[in-house]
Amino acid sequence: MLEATDITVTFGRHRVLDRAAVTVSPGEVVGLAGPSGCGKSTLARVLALLLRPSGGRVVLDGQPVHRWRHRAPRRTAVGLIFQQPRLAVDPRFTLLDVITEPLRANRRPLTRAHELAEELGLTPELHSRRPHEVSDGQLQRACVARALALEPRYLICDEMTTMLDASTQAHLVARIEAYRERTGAGVLAVSHDIELLERWSGGNVRELAPTLPIKEAAPATGERSSA
Provide the binding-site residues for ligand ATP, judged by CB under 6 A.
11, 16, 34, 36-42, 192
Cβ of residue 158: shortest distance to ligand ATP, in angstroms? Answer: 7
Please name which of 13, 46, 75 lies closest in space to residue 211, comparing C-alpha atoms. Answer: 13
Cβ of residue 73: shortest distance to ligand ATP, in angstroms? Answer: 26
Cβ of residue 35: shortest distance to ligand ATP, in angstroms? Answer: 7
Pair 54, 20: CB distance under 8 Å? no
Question: Closest CB to ligand ATP among 20 and 116?
Answer: 20
Pair 30, 188: CB distance under 8 Å? yes
Question: Closest CB to ligand ATP among 44 and 103?
Answer: 44
Question: Closest CB to ligand ATP among 38 and 98?
Answer: 38
Cβ of residue 174: shortest distance to ligand ATP, in angstroms? Answer: 24
Question: Closest CB to ligand ATP among 17 and 98?
Answer: 17
φ, ψ dihedrals at 77, nearest 5° = -75, -20
- CA-based Rg of the chain, rounded to a whole angstrom? 19
Residues 89, 94, 99, 105: is their CA dihedral positive or negative?
Answer: negative
